[in-house]
Structure 1
Amino acid sequence: MMPNAASSVMDGRRRVLPSLLAVLMVLYLVAVFASRFDTNGAGAVGEMWASAVAAIGLLALAPRRPNPVRQGIAIACAAAAPALTMVFHEYVEGQVWALIPAMFLALYLRATYRVVLARVLCIALAALSTTALLLSPAPVPILWAILYVVCILGAAEMFGALGADLIAGALRDPLTATWNRAGFTYAAANLADGAARRWENIAVIVFDVDHFKAVNDRLGHAAGDRVLTDVAERLTNKAPAGSVVARLGGDEFAVLVTGHDAGQVDALAQELIEGHRVGVTYGTALGDPNVDVLDSLLPLADADMYRRKALRRSG
């Protein structure tokens, strides 16, 4: 069963974008309907196109775990919908309202994606929205273009970055800065999705510090903390690029990798336990990326680790 923290974060992220698209689609459809009773004869051509684009974005997110291509289509639709309304708006008031969904999308992007990618996407969003504003038939002041850029990028950096920090704090171990158990589940799901698309297997390697309780009892908890941070730093520095490194709790760590066979996984584990100030025992498990890592592979890796400990004691 997935830990509640990871489940809440993942479910929350999955709900934000479809919720935004659904709200946009409904509001634009209401605007289309209301335009039929507009005595001034103002149409809602932009809203009709925008509602259709928002619907396309929702369809792209129909699978429970949409792939990155579908996610990208949905983001493009969420950005294009308000921009389409601006291109056709003849009233200044419409351009003000069109800015709001762009700001909400910028918040989502900054809180969800890695910093560099999020900033690139937010800059593209600001450029698209500003271009639509300048192309619109509404007589807007030129300073509004600057206002659009400041509002969209400012919302992303001020509030979206705060959301990203809160999410990271919920999924990271405060001592070692690696993923915690909930974060491991979250990161493992993303890594497994990529492995499944590439037809690669997935492997988990667990590590346990030998006689860690004795370190705490003899040298104190501060020394124990230094041991844990040293182990985490070495695992992080030596693990392959793109792998997941986590502290599962206490003195137990895990590294998740893809595209390795059994021999390569064992060789990697041997390399990762070298150079520590304390003894470290490992266990491995290899499996299909479509299985649940915590429920299926992690218990197997734990059993393998305890088997190695027992063999060393009996030897």
Structure 2
Amino acid sequence: MYPLRSLADAEGRVIGRQQVRLLRIYLSATTFLFLWGVTFTTVIPIRRGPGSPTGGIIAIVLGVAALAYLARRPRSLTPAVAAAVAATPAVMAYHVSMTAEYVCLIATMFLAMYIRAFYPPRQALAVNGILTAVTMAAVAVAPAPKVGVLTFLIIGIAIMGAAESFGLVMRALLEAACTDPMTGLLNRAGWEIATADLVARLRASAGTVTVVALDIDNLKTLNDTYGHDAGDRRITEYARAWRRAAPRGAVLARLGGDEFAACIAGRDSAAVNRFLDEIRSRTPQVSVGTATAALPGAVVAQLLSRADAALYRGRGRPLRQDVPPPPLDT
């Protein structure tokens, strides 16, 4: 089944909005602090500052540029994250005090936690490795006195330790918010994120995207006759069977109640037929509807709507398209 490689939503919904918001908060806070440091050590010299203001000026330019970029392109975070990775080490490269270095280290630790929480594990490890290396290099060239290898050991442990502890906990909580607790499949939020990621990754290919809508029949009758435990067992057993039958890389989710959906993308059109054959042979009393579109123009939300309509047509109860549903009483 398709894993949640990234918690960034390509369509800017759900968790994706929070990812952008947190990055803006981080950039705003650090840029303000760098501006404060440059202002009160050069323009209004209350006291002698911790080294040259050059690094602070570079960091301010990077922060402002990253914030401006996010204002124009909030769905493309890589340049802004790259600016954040470079900004704090730029300041640290000019410090003359290790106290100032350790204060700035807090910012890199927060950035490492953010990266670990929102990016795929391997990518997060690589980016945090770069962040750690750049920070160590900045401290190495800084005029601040160092305590040999111990200084760099502290920096490495602080950054990677923060990422793997607090960042991992944050990612686990976010993943739990995208997972259906009964079946272990993705829920509606997870479906939105995973399908957007899947289509984005394959958009340049010449394959197709197929959405399969699944609905367990007579589940209410089963609950009313044998109790909700029996209905829950039916749901979990069918979900387990569909997980085993789903092609590699497919997105499988429980959208609510007895409603499930699968998204299969790629060039292997036979994979969809094999999946449907497994559904019919291993999980009886299931209504199925499918919809397919070619990449790169496929829109998963539209395919799901078409697949759902096909499911109801297969039941002999087509959805009405002419009259909208009545408004709710207020």
TM-score normalised by the chain length of structure 2: 0.79
Aligned to 1:126: 132
Matches within 5 A, 1:270-285: 270-285=276-291
Q: Is the 2:59–2:91 Cα contact (8 Å) retained in structure 1?
A: yes
- Post-superposition Cα deviations, 1:55-104, rounded to whole Å, max 9, x if no partner, equal 443355331322xxxx3332222111111111111122320222011111
The alignment partner of 1:88 has SS state of coil
* Backbone CA RMSD of aligned residues: 2.8
Matches within 5 A, 1:97-136: 97-136=103-142
Q: Which amino acid aligns with 2:265?
A: T
**Could you tell me how far apart the structure 2 residues matched to 1:74 and 1:199 are?**
31
Q: Is the 1:273–1:281 Cα contact (8 Å) retained in structure 2?
A: no
Query: 1:237 aligned to 2:244?
Result: yes
Aligned to 1:300: 306
Aligned to 1:160: 167
- Post-superposition Cα deviations, 1:20-69, rounded to whole Å, max 9, x if no partner, equal 22333333233333323336485301112222233443355331322xxx
Q: 1:249 aligns with which of 240, 256, 276?
A: 256
Aligned to 2:62: 53
- Post-superposition Cα deviations, 1:166-192, rounded to whole Å, max 9, x if no partner, equal 111211100111111122122223233
Matches within 5 A, 1:47-86: 47-61=56-70, 62-66=72-76, 71-86=77-92
Q: Which amino acid aligns with 2:63?
A: A
**Could you tell me how far apart the structure 2 residues matched to 1:305 and 1:121 are?**
44
- Post-superposition Cα deviations, 1:115-147, rounded to whole Å, max 9, x if no partner, equal 343233333322322232222110132323222
**Could you tell me how far apart the structure 1 residues matched to 2:73 and 2:271 are?**
32
Aligned sequence identity (%): 33
Aligned to 2:29: 23
Query: 1:43 aligned to 2:49?
Result: no
Cα 1:260–1:308 change in 2 (3 A) is farther
TM-score normalised by the chain length of structure 1: 0.83
Between Structure 1 and Structure 2, the one with more helix by share is 1
Q: Is the 1:204–1:297 Cα contact (8 Å) retained in structure 2?
A: yes
Q: Is the 1:284–1:305 Cα contact (8 Å) retained in structure 2?
A: yes
Q: Which amino acid aligns with 1:63?
A: R
Cα 1:272–1:36 change in 2 (3 A) is farther
Aligned residues: 300
Q: Is the 2:213–2:262 Cα contact (8 Å) retained in structure 1?
A: yes
Cα 1:200–1:266 change in 2 (3 A) is closer
Q: 2:38 aligns with which of 16, 25, 32?
A: 32
Cα 1:290–1:111 change in 2 (3 A) is farther
**Could you tell me how far apart the structure 1 residues matched to 2:140 and 2:185 are?**
45
Q: 1:220 aligns with which of 222, 227, 235?
A: 227
In terms of mean alpha carbon deviation, does 197-206 or 41-50 score higher? 197-206
The alignment partner of 1:310 has SS state of coil
What are structure 1's unaligned runs of at least 5 residues?
Answer: 1-5
In terms of mean alpha carbon deviation, does 19-28 or 170-179 score higher? 19-28
Aligned to 1:3: none
The alignment partner of 1:278 has SS state of coil
Q: Is the 1:192–1:290 Cα contact (8 Å) retained in structure 2?
A: no
Cα 1:197–1:75 change in 2 (3 A) is farther
- Post-superposition Cα deviations, 1:202-221, rounded to whole Å, max 9, x if no partner, equal 33111112322333344433
What are structure 2's unaligned runs of at least 5 residues?
Answer: 1-11, 318-330
- Post-superposition Cα deviations, 1:216-272, rounded to whole Å, max 9, x if no partner, equal 3444332322222222223223323332110011121101123459x6575255234
Aligned to 2:157: 150
Q: Is the 1:206–1:282 Cα contact (8 Å) retained in structure 2?
A: yes
**Could you tell me how far apart the structure 2 residues matched to 1:50 and 1:15 are?**
20
**Could you tell me how far apart the structure 2 residues matched to 1:129 and 1:7 are?**
33
Q: Which amino acid aligns with 2:198?
A: L
